[in-house]
Every structure is written in C-alpha cells, then in structure tokens.
Structure 1
C-alpha cells in the first residue's frame, strides 16, 4: 500500500486565484504570443518547465500544425461610428483565428459573421476557426438585437502566417522510471471551467510534487494547446510514453 505524504506547503486559495487573475485577460489560442506569455507566467512557479516550438506545416500523424495566429485589435463600428463590438473590451468578442480584414458591410452582410446564444442572452459564446480561413465576432444576444440598420465598419488587425506551435512540459523524477502523466490545455482565452482551472490546478499540483521529500513514481506534466498540441506531444514522445506511462 502506498502511503500518502502530506506537508505544509500546500497552496492557499489566494495563490490559485492570483494566478488566475494574471492569466485570465490574456488572449490565448492554439498558437501565438498569448500562449507563450501564459507559459512564461507558469514558469515563474515551475522554473524547470521546458518550452518547445514546433513549426507550422509539421505533419503530426494525419494532422498538420497550422499557421500561427496573433491578434492586436478588432472591432465593429455601427452606422453612427460607435464601437459596438470591441475585442479589447473582452477577447471572446472575436472568433479565434479570424483572418485580418478591413471593410464596410451592411447589417445583413455582417449578421452572417456574428455569433450569439439566443437561449443565453447575456453570454458571449466562444467560437474558433482554427482550420478554416474565416472571420467573425461573438456578442451577447441582447447586443445583437440592438444593432441598427445601416453600414458597419469591420476591422481585424491580425497576423495569420507560418510560425510555430508552442507547448511546455516538465518531468519530475521519482525513485522509479514508471510515470504518472498529467496533461492540460492552456489555449482557451478568458474562461474558467476548462481553462483556467486545468492549468492552474496542474501547476500547483506540480509544485506540491516537487516539494515532496520522496517520490516513488516519476511525474510527467504536459501543458499544450487542445487537440493539435496533444497530438504533437504524443508524436514527439510516443516511445517514452508507451514504455513508462
């Protein structure tokens, strides 16, 4: 029977909340500087966290690492010149991986690129288009219902070009080489139930494991973008994972 070791270095709730408050405003996606910035913050808690870059176009099983996306600004102006949708106000307002655009549209044309939740009129949906070139905005149903007829100005200042996918991992050695494997996503922006709860709990779990005076198993921590990041990690570590996990 394994004995459960406890010690007084368990994290306090305000430590977890403080980390969440730092990470929450960052616009993350499956690639890009927001993901890198977030990993850099996690490295403050886990100095041994290794950062890896995998080039766009890399074949991963039957998937391909996509182009890198970085967003600077995005908004929609109504016919009166009022900014009715603003990425800088909430980064969920922009469809993830939206391609750059600057044009004028009628309300009818704009509606084809808008996303809302009629059954949740005060919620902003989370929508992405990682693998299909597109653009769009998300807003509450109440906002959408208040839009007036006329000509709208749409502006998205983004880069979508070859770059790389970023992920982090950490191996915490134990008495044996057999591994316990923890994996978490970090790519979702400004949400809590998936990100940021997963990476924050995983980070403090890793800190707790590092502080143990004795570890029987070796522990592997992977912090990756969803789906494609997990596939990249499996592709690059498959032999070790099959042998030790």
Structure 2
C-alpha cells in the first residue's frame, strides 16, 4: 500500500526527539523520499515563553536495593522520564514511587513521559519502569544513581514545498518527536510523505507544503520566523497523527468551523467511511492546530486522527507498545485516500457562469444532458431516493449558474457526491452553456499586534 508500512518501520527505527542527534539521520532518510529544506533552532532560543531545550542524554539510570541492581533505565529508550535531571541519593519506597511513572492497566509497558521537554524550568527527574516492577518493590531504602547531561544542540524542522499556479498554500503537518513510536508519530508521517509524492505528480492550482517537526515547539519557532506576508499565503492546513489503529476516523474542525477545509474533509470522509466522527475545535486529541490558529496567525487548521477516548486514544498510547505491530495498513490507506479526495475537491470546486437565458431543453440531442426521472410508462421500478435527489438537482441547477454557488455548495445542499455533481456540471461547460472558474479559497486576514513584516 504505497509502501507506507515499510517507510513507517524505517522511520521508527531511528532515534528521534525534540533535540536529538538522531534527527539528522531521520531527515536524511526522509530526504531520500522528498527534497527537504531544513531549519535549525539552537537550544535556549525563546519565544512567547517557549524554550528550545538542550540536548539531553542519559549516562546512568540505576535503582539499587541492598547494593543489588534492580532497574537499569538505559535498557529501554523510554526507561527514564524525558529531560530528567541527575539525582544521587537514598530514598524510602514511598518517596521513590513519586518518581516512578507507570500505567497499571499496561503492567509491562514503559511510559513516554515528556512533560519536562516543554517545561524545562521544572527540574524534575524520574524513571518509567513497567508497573509490574513498581508493584514488586518492597518497603525499605533504595539508592538511585541517575546521571544525565545537558548540552547545547539544535531542534530541526523540515518542510517540502510543491509550488502551484498560485503562491497560496495549503499545509499538511505531522510530528517527528516521539522516539520509535508508530501510531502517534511515524505512520502519519509516512502517509503524508507518500501523499506528497502523489501530489508532486499533479498539475496543481494551489501550492502545498509538508511540515515535519517536533509538535508545538517546532511549529512555534517555525512560524516565529515568518514575515506577515508569508503568513498570509497560508490558506488552511491539516495536522494528522494516530491513523493506524482501531477507532472512528475523526475530523476536528477549525476554530471558526465551516471553513472550506472543514467542509471538504467532512464531505470526503463521509463518502469514504461510515465509521467517522466530526468534532469541534480541540474536542479531539489535539495538537499543533492551536499554534496555527493562534492570534496573529489565525490559519484555519483541521486535525485528523483515530481515537477511542481522550484518556486512552488507543491501546499502547505513549508507551513502547506503540510500535509497528499495532498498525493496520488498510487504515493508513484510508487516510491516504481521504487526503487525495480532499485535494481533488479543493482543486475542482468551481463556480458556474451561465451563457444563456431561459429554460434549455436538456433532452435535446444538441445538449443531451437530461436525467430521466421515474416514468411508469417506461419502467415498473420506482427510482430510489438517490435518483430523486438528482431529479431535484436537475430542476434547480440552472439557478446555480450565477457565479455565486460552488459545486461543493450544490453537493452539500442536495446531499450528493461532489465528484458526481462536478462531472454533471462539466457537461454544461462542454456544451458551451456555462463558463467555469475555480472558487479560490480565501481566509480573513489575521489581526496582528506584534508580527513584523520582516525579520
């Protein structure tokens, strides 16, 4: 299936993070698929309270009791809470447990604890052992030897840009900061990479940009360095993750809702699968749409994923169980198909401008556009509801040719498939009854108080 699974596994095999040496290898591998422009942000950079963290490494992460080594946090990549500070000392069991993070319902899993990456001022430390290990600990004294290092590094952000006839751009984004994780991470990245390879072979009206970066932090600093005029070229976007495990396909709307990007995703998803949910802004398991929609940017962003509950989006969420084995390739393929459909819709959502007055005899062989309604003299089988909808559309369609109603408007009003309606409308253009023009996506300019025109 477009080799999405193979690429997902290869990306998962590379150690990545917010600031991590492995990010160089990660983007080299992605660069084999798509040419990338890399942006680098040094540790310590600040913006609106956000801080690019230092590069963090674990040298030793041991827990002892009676001089016996009970736990080595370096064995598993998630064995130590991310961005933990060093600690040496002796603790009783009650105090030690305050620094052990585990999930009782997944007794053998290691948790991905990442809060301190985004809050480096908290100076915390901890281990992420399996809950079964935590339960096995007996009262008494424990010795902890946790040695970590912090040194200046770089956070990497990458984008791939496909220019279209227009500079106005639609953005797709996925994250790269969850080490070795497949569903909440690299399966979505792989889907978008394969999708952009397909997109690059099209003759597009809009420009398209794929952005791959650590969630929140990457987007915050990436947009910080945009000029106001660059921000204005972004029409809309989508953040995608958690695509490959069981659950409804979920579309969370833009902040305002009812933007063209909202309507396009709703229409295509509803046509693609019956297992879907449409939610409001941030009612899903959210992500970087909050950055894009922030005041001063206000770029309409939808968020797509599959999740079961907010507390447990999928089995193995934020643990080492989130690996390639839990991914279902057919579910990734379904998102690929949805992305294709959304772009085909946006690139073909035309307005109609009539070149005639009065009622046209559509059944005349000169036009041959008439859709037969049920006629008992010709058929004993009554038309179904779908055919009746087409009959109503046919009787109304010529009133939609004033240049103010798009194909998507018509499809939504009559509860019909966009592409079927678009094909029908094309017949009128082919008979020179109408001219058609693309309904260009527009957005309301953001209200800015601090964004400079140039950096």
In which range does the TM-score fall when normalised by the shorter chain? 0.7 to 0.9
Query: Does 2:148 align with 1:158?
Result: yes
- Return the index of the structure with the highest Cα Rg: 2
Query: Does 2:127 align with 1:137?
Result: yes
In the alignment, the residues of structure 1 paired with residue 158 and residue 143 of structure 2 have an alpha-carbon distance, to the nearest angstrom, of 39
> Of the two structures, which has the highest relative contact order with CA contacts closer than 8 Å and spacing of 6 or more?
1
Counterparts of 1:24-103 in structure 2, within 5 Å, are 24-46=12-34, 48-60=35-47, 62-79=48-65, 81-88=68-75, 90-103=76-89
In the alignment, the residues of structure 2 paired with residue 123 and residue 40 of structure 1 have an alpha-carbon distance, to the nearest angstrom, of 30
Check conservation: 2:41, 2:52, Cα contact below 8 A: no
Cα deviation, residue 53, structure 1: 0.9
Of 123, 139, 147 in structure 1, the residue corresponding to residue 137 of structure 2 is 147
In the alignment, the residues of structure 2 paired with residue 243 and residue 175 of structure 1 have an alpha-carbon distance, to the nearest angstrom, of 13
Cα deviation, residue 137, structure 1: 1.0
Query: Does 2:199 align with 1:199?
Result: no
In the alignment, the residues of structure 1 paired with residue 74 and residue 7 of structure 2 have an alpha-carbon distance, to the nearest angstrom, of 22
Cα deviation, residue 145, structure 1: 0.7
Query: Does 2:10 align with 1:19?
Result: no
Check conservation: 1:69, 1:158, Cα contact below 8 A: no
Residue in structure 2 matched with residue 4 of structure 1 by the alignment:
none
Check conservation: 1:174, 1:219, Cα contact below 8 A: yes
Of 209, 222, 225 in structure 1, the residue corresponding to residue 214 of structure 2 is 225
Check conservation: 1:78, 1:148, Cα contact below 8 A: no
Residue in structure 2 matched with residue 6 of structure 1 by the alignment:
none
In the alignment, the residues of structure 2 paired with residue 148 and residue 26 of structure 1 have an alpha-carbon distance, to the nearest angstrom, of 37
CA 1:136 to 1:177, structure 2 compared with 1: closer, same or farther past 3 Å?
same
Specify the SS of the correspondent of 1:114.
coil
Higher strand share: 1
Q: Deviations over 1:35-91 (max 9, x none)?
A: 333222211212x2111111233232x123233223244432432533524333x21
Cα deviation, residue 153, structure 1: 4.3
Cα deviation, residue 125, structure 1: 2.2
Check conservation: 1:116, 1:124, Cα contact below 8 A: yes
Residue in structure 2 matched with residue 214 of structure 1 by the alignment:
203
Cα deviation, residue 187, structure 1: 0.4
In the alignment, the residues of structure 2 paired with residue 191 and residue 21 of structure 1 have an alpha-carbon distance, to the nearest angstrom, of 9
Query: Does 2:141 align with 1:172?
Result: no
Cα deviation, residue 170, structure 1: 1.4
Query: Which structure 2 segments of 5+ residues have no match?
Result: 236-455
Check conservation: 2:59, 2:149, Cα contact below 8 A: no
CA 1:189 to 1:218, structure 2 compared with 1: closer, same or farther past 3 Å?
same
In the alignment, the residues of structure 1 paired with residue 12 and residue 147 of structure 2 have an alpha-carbon distance, to the nearest angstrom, of 21
CA 1:117 to 1:164, structure 2 compared with 1: closer, same or farther past 3 Å?
same
Specify the SS of the correspondent of 1:198.
helix
Q: Deviations over 1:89-146 (max 9, x none)?
A: x212211111234445443332121011223333332212121221111122212111
Query: Which structure 1 segments of 5+ residues have no match?
Result: 1-9
CA 1:17 to 1:152, structure 2 compared with 1: closer, same or farther past 3 Å?
farther
Cα deviation, residue 180, structure 1: 1.3
CA 1:37 to 1:84, structure 2 compared with 1: closer, same or farther past 3 Å?
same
Residue in structure 2 matched with residue 3 of structure 1 by the alignment:
none
In the alignment, the residues of structure 1 paired with residue 188 and residue 82 of structure 2 have an alpha-carbon distance, to the nearest angstrom, of 20
In the alignment, the residues of structure 2 paired with residue 238 and residue 182 of structure 1 have an alpha-carbon distance, to the nearest angstrom, of 20
CA 1:144 to 1:244, structure 2 compared with 1: closer, same or farther past 3 Å?
closer
CA 1:203 to 1:81, structure 2 compared with 1: closer, same or farther past 3 Å?
farther
How many residues align structurally? Answer: 229
